[in-house]
Structure formats: C-alpha cells, structure tokens
Amino acid sequence: MASVKAFLKDSKALKNGQYSVFIRVTQDRKHKYFKIGTSTKELWDYEQGLPHKKHPLYRELMINIKQKETLASKQIMNWESDDINYTADEIKSTLKAENKKVTVFSYYETVIKRLIKEGRLGYSDIFNANLRSLKKYRSDRDFNFSDVHTAFINDYVTYLRDREIKENTIFLHLRNFKTLINYARADKIVRDTYNPFKETSFAKYRKIKTEKRAIRIDKTMEIEAFEPEIESRMWHSKNYYLFSYYTMGTNFVDLAKLTWDNIQTDLLIYTRAKTKKEYKIPLNDKAKAILAYYRENSRGKYIFPILTEEKHKSMKAKRDRMKRVLSYLNQDLKAIGTKLGIEIKLTSYVARHTAATTLKRSGQSVQVIKELMGHDSEKTTEIYLDELDNSVLQGAVNSL
C-alpha cells in the first residue's frame, strides 16, 4: 500500500530562511511531492513528521496535513478495494485537485470562458445551457466531481424526463456533461481513469429519430426564386441561407466571420469555430454569384454585412452582433417559409441538413457527403441525413 507522510525539506532554505513542508506520496518506490506550507528546522518535529506546537501556524498546518493524509488514504483504499491500479502521480493529482477546490459549476464557468476566448461562441452557449440545466436540477447547490456517479446521472435523467424534456435534448445534456468530464481529465482535475458515465448507454438515444430539418429540392428552388426587396434585411437573410446551403451548410457564426481571404479561386477555405477543423468547400456558380454581388458592394474585409472592422473589435461586440443578426435571420427565414408554404420551420440550421439530404437523394455516397461536411465519421454524417421519402423508396422498389 502507498504511504503518505509530511516532511520538512531542509536541504534548501527559502529566501525568508524557512523551509518547505511537503506531503510525500510513495508508491512502488516512486515519490511525488505536494507542498502545503513552511517551517523552520527548530519548529519541526522530525521524529513525528509534524510541526511543533510552538509553530505560529501550528493549528492551520496540522489541519492541512491531516486533511491531505486522510484524503489520500481514503482514495487509496477506494482504489484498492475496487482493485484499480494507481500511481504516486495520481495520488498527487487527487491532492492537487482538492487543493484547488474545483467544483463542477466553477469548472463549467472556466470551460465556458475558455471557449469564448477561443472564439467558439456557439459551443460556449451549449455548455451554458447544460450548466443552467444542472443548476436547476441541483437547486443552485454546487457539487464536486466525486459526487458524480451512476446513481447521480440516473437521477438527473429522471429529473429531466419528469419535466417532459425531449429524449434528444436529454442526450445532448448527457453528452456535453461527459465532454466536460473529458476536459477535466485533460486538465488533471480528476484522475485519468475517472469515468462516471461507464454504466451509461448512449446507444438508445442515438436510435431516436430526430425531428426532420431538411426540405425538398423544389422548396429550395422556391426560396431561390423568392425576391424580397434588394438590400432589405430579408433579402440578405435569403442570401445567407442560400450561401450556407451552397457551401454544405456553413454554420452562421463561421459565415459571419468569413473574409475575402477565405476565398481562394474556386474554393471556400475556413476553420470552423466549433471544431477548429479546416474546411475546403468547392464553390458552385450560384455561390459565386452571391459572392460577386457582395464583392462589388464590399464594405471592408468581411464578405457579408454582419460584422465591421470599426464597430466589432472586441470578442463581446462580435458575439452580441452575431446573436442579434442570427435572431433576425431566423425570424426572416420563418416568414419566408410561411410565405412559401414550407411545412418544416425554416431556420439557418435547415440549410446544413438540406444540403446533406439533397446530396443523398441525388445518389451521392455517405463517404462523399462526410468529406464535404468535414465530419470525422460517417455516423456523424448520418445524423444530418433525412429519411428518404416514400416516393424515392417506391421508385427503388419499382426498379426491382
């Protein structure tokens, strides 16, 4: 069994003449050290491995030492009772995480700030929504990662179902919560083997059919033929939607940030804010026609009149502006959809699903669609693909 003991490192004095007090963790003859305070040689009991009662911070130092020793011993016993291998470094990581006092809510805030700083605004909104859901579940009572286990997750799912949250939404909350824990492992907030989701099956959620978001090609052609007043807000909204569709569903945040540098000959090349992956999308004639108009009426480095260099310099200014324009865009698309009798609620996201589904219906393989959409796997691509309608299935049967 590993040993955990406090000791005074008296081989090197600090600038104030004192020496560092460490917790030394020993496992398989390997040592790891965790600093918890300071002391002089005269105020340290070498035999007991503890400070003398005359130490001016005796009480605080003793409490700190005992807490760390108890925490480490408890964790070691849990690992050994579960027959889990561990290292001295992992014991140190446990002490370090406890010392930071990183709670789940506080870590969510850290991750959200990090995503905003990286410009991944849409992804930060997803984590914000997940955090709000957990806060409601916990009645705003924060908790530690050690409190998260299978029973906790099952109870959270029951809470969501009792409030008639859709299964797809429950899946998203669980997936994002699991992603947060993956981040916590990478940041050494929890140990590498910590996985409270190991008993949770995501397969049943993936089998749930998502609400249809793709429209038929004839409806897309009707949107193309629809003619709002030139330079009106709705006219720009129509262009944003169609350009997204022509470029395999470019996300609105990425579309808003596009500059003329992203256009290289017949290619649209950009790095997606959400995934940090580079996309290379061939430009068809209709996409080029939209670009030609905005090139002729260019207002600066940005392709579309959403952001400007003068007004939107800070991350917050860009974020607020994009949120506002996205709201207008979806309002306009809803109005266009109503005018054209499109049954599916038209939003900016419909363009991405429609692009994938239209290619599928035209006979393109999932592999080709995967490459164009920049997905890591065909499973991800299939999420976007709408079910083939009955007429296509009937045609396939007739061909037999």
Domain ranges of the chain: 3-99, 104-206, 217-398
The answer to whether residues 258 and 239 touch, using CB atoms and an 8 Å cutoff, is: no
**DSSP H/E element including 159:** helix 150-162
Provide the strand spans (E) within the chain.
3-9, 19-27, 30-39, 44-45, 50-51, 263-264, 267-271, 278-282
**Averaged pLDDT, 229-236:** 95
For position 275, what pLDDT does the model report? 75
**Averaged pLDDT, 223-248:** 94
Mention every residue, 6+ apart, whose C-beta is less than 8 A from residue 188: 93, 96, 97
Q: Is it the case that residue 179 has pLDDT exceeding 90?
A: yes
Q: Is it the case that residue 241 has pLDDT exceeding 60?
A: yes
Query: Which among 327, 346, 329, 305 has a CA at the least distance from the CA of 222?
Result: 346
Instruction: Report the distance separating Cα 67 and Cα 77, nearest Å.
Output: 15
Instruction: Report the distance separating Cα 98 and Cα 141, nearest Å.
Output: 18
* Identity of the residue numbered 336: I
Task: Give the residue, 74 or 106, on which the prediction is more confident.
Answer: 106
Q: Is it the case that residue 300 has pLDDT exceeding 80?
A: yes
Task: Give the residue, 268 or 82, on which the prediction is more confident.
Answer: 268
The pTM of the whole model exceeds 0.75: no
Task: Give the residue, 384 or 89, on which the prediction is more confident.
Answer: 89
Instruction: Report the distance separating Cα 302 and Cα 312, nearest Å.
Output: 11
Mention every residue, 6+ apart, whose C-beta is less than 8 A from residue 281: 247, 248, 250, 267, 268, 269, 372
Query: Which among 236, 257, 266 has a CA at the least distance from the CA of 301?
Result: 257
Angle between helices 121-137 and 150-162 (to 10 degrees): 90
Per-residue HEC secondary structure of 88-131 comes to HHHHHHHHHHHHHCCCHHHHHHHHHHHHHHCCCHHHHHHHHHHH
**Averaged pLDDT, 237-254:** 93
Most confident of 135-149, 203-217, 327-341: 327-341
Beta bridge partners of 8: 21
Instruction: Report the distance separating Cα 250 and Cα 165, nearest Å.
Output: 29
Express as a percent the part of the chain with pLDDT over 90: 32
Q: Cα-flanking dihedrals φ and ψ of residue 284, to 5°?
A: -90, 175
The answer to whether residues 104 and 148 touch, using CB atoms and an 8 Å cutoff, is: yes
CATH 1.10.443.10 for domain 217-398, yes or no, is: yes
pLDDT tens digits along 90-125: 777 767 665 556 789 999 999 998 888 777 777 888
Owner of token pair 């925490």: 71
Instruction: Report the distance separating Cα 39 and Cα 94, nearest Å.
Output: 24
Query: Which among 34, 33, 37 has a CA at the least distance from the CA of 55?
Result: 37
**Averaged pLDDT, 157-169:** 90
pLDDT tens digits along 247-277: 988 989 999 999 999 999 889 999 887 777 8
**Averaged pLDDT, 174-197:** 88
Per the document, the length of the chain is: 400
Express as a percent the part of the chain with pLDDT over 70: 88
Which of 8-12, 246-250, 317-321, 356-360 has the lowest average pLDDT? 356-360
Which CATH number is 104-206 given? Answer: 1.10.150
